[in-house]
A and B are shown apart, each in its own frame.
Chain A
Amino acid sequence: MSTTPLRLKELSKKKVLLTGGHRLCSGCGAPIAIRQILLAAEMPIVAANATGCLEVSTTIYPYSAWKIPWIHTAFENAAATISGVEAMYRALKKKGRITERIKFIAFGGDGGTYDIGFQSLSGAMERGHDIVYICYDNEAYMNTGIQRSSATPLGANTTTSPAGSVIPGKMQPRKNLTKIMVAHGIPYVAQTTPAHWRDLMTKVRKALEVDGPAFINILASCNRGWRTPTDRAIQDSKLAVDTCFWPLYEYENGRLTINYKPKEKKPVVEFLKTQGRFKHLFSPQNEYLLERAQEIVDKEWEALLREEAMWKAEEEKKEQ
């Protein structure tokens, strides 16, 4: 079977497996990512979907936007559900009742992945199921009306970290889930955004090709929660990458590759200033938070650069 080249002209001849008519907000980043993921796949996909915006809005009874077998599970167990489906597939394959090559994807938002579904995700990865877990990270519980999650960045205004006279938005930095997944020692971990469609689709293909668990973290903008105009999804994703707020990188069998290094690393305020959720950070008394945000980005980015350099040096040593 030949693989469709990652060119839009060729890809547009494929069937889109997420239809229009879903009820995600106008300008939502999540369906852009899902369309690209399903377009990248070259084999039949079965998906489990944790509770969240994506699940609710794509399957309002009696409608479904999915053209693949799809199951809704509770907030906390998308990874467990897809593990079970994959285990059943392996059993049926052994018995000769299925011959086709099928792959399994679990989708969850940051709430269903970073927080509520974290234990089942960790378990599924440790057990070594042949599955791909994809988190679309919009950086808060957007479906229930913008509550903070552990993916919400420092200083963001949400309904449970309201910026005002008492606190200047969320007081804690987000946790680095991508790195936590790397620590599981699984064969493939990556992060990307739908603005970088070729990067995203390449990573989805790699994740589907590995034999074992894979994890992809996708920044998916939310104009309601980020307080931006509806046409900003792609622009803001690009800014997140150009400021190194959300670097594009991957770990293949533990080896880090940074997929994109901005020629000129933009200051993180370029990403923050277009979004209403960070508006209060630009008042004089909160300036220290802007500095803090920049420090966090710099520290993580420099750690990535150092780690990649270490891998390269080690490989050069081996070649000599």
Chain B
Amino acid sequence: MKGWRELEIGAITEAGSADSYNTGSWRAFRPRWIEENCIQCLFCWIYCPDSAITVKDGKRGEFDYNHCKGCGICAMECPGKKGKKAIVMEEEGK
């Protein structure tokens, strides 16, 4: 067992280090992005609790599956194009 002198500093010193923690394994359902139905409204991005939608130059990109917990809010809020959703939820492992 370590003595107290060998222990690390008892505070988190690196800002945003949770970024390196993987919560993607929590998922039971996986969101799939269908780009042709996407109108780039970015509702998915503003409503994602896990910052799991990548954006670049004001446009969304692929999901960050390391952090996405599969809650399905993005799919629920997606307006899609002509009644066709740009995000659908699919069961993991199928």
Contact = CB atoms under 8 A, between A and B. Distances in A.
A154 interface: no
Contacts of A68: 15
B54 to A, nearest CB: 10
A26 B69 contact: yes
Nearest to A195: B47
A234 B15 contact: no
Interface stretch (A5-13, A178-186, A240-248, A280-288): A5-13
B35 interface: no
Interface stretch (A16-24, A82-90, A112-120, A202-210): A16-24
Interface string B61-82: 0001011111111011100000
Contacts of B50: 20-22, 31
Given A12-B55, A20-B52, A67-B15, 18 more contacts: A8-B45, A9-B58, A10-B58, A12-B58, A18-B51, A19-B16, A19-B18, A19-B51, A20-B18, A26-B49, A27-B49, A32-B48, A62-B17, A64-B12, A65-B16, A194-B47, A234-B76, A235-B76
**Taking chain A's interface residues, is the majority helix, strand, or loop, or is none over half, making it mixed?**
loop
B46 A8 contact: yes
Contacts of B26: 26
Interface of A: 8-13, 16-32, 35-36, 58-68, 194-195, 197, 229-235
Contacts of A30: 49
A290 B70 CA distance: 33
Size category of the B interface is: 35 or more
Contact of B51 (A9, A16, A62): A16
Contact of A32 (B16, B17, B18, B47): B47
Among A18, A21, A25, the most chain B Cβ lie within 10 Å of the Cβ of: A21
A190 B53 CA distance: 29
A29 B22 CA distance: 20
A147 to B, nearest CB: 23
B23 interface: yes
Interface string B1-34: 0000000100010111111111100110000000
A137 B75 CA distance: 24
A60 B68 CA distance: 18
B38 interface: no
Contacts of A61: 12
A59 to B, nearest CB: 6
Nearest to A24: B49
Contacts of A229: 72
B88 interface: no
Contact of A21 (B67, B72, B89): B67
A195 B46 CA distance: 9
A19 B48 CA distance: 11
A276 to B, nearest CB: 17
Contacts of B27: 26
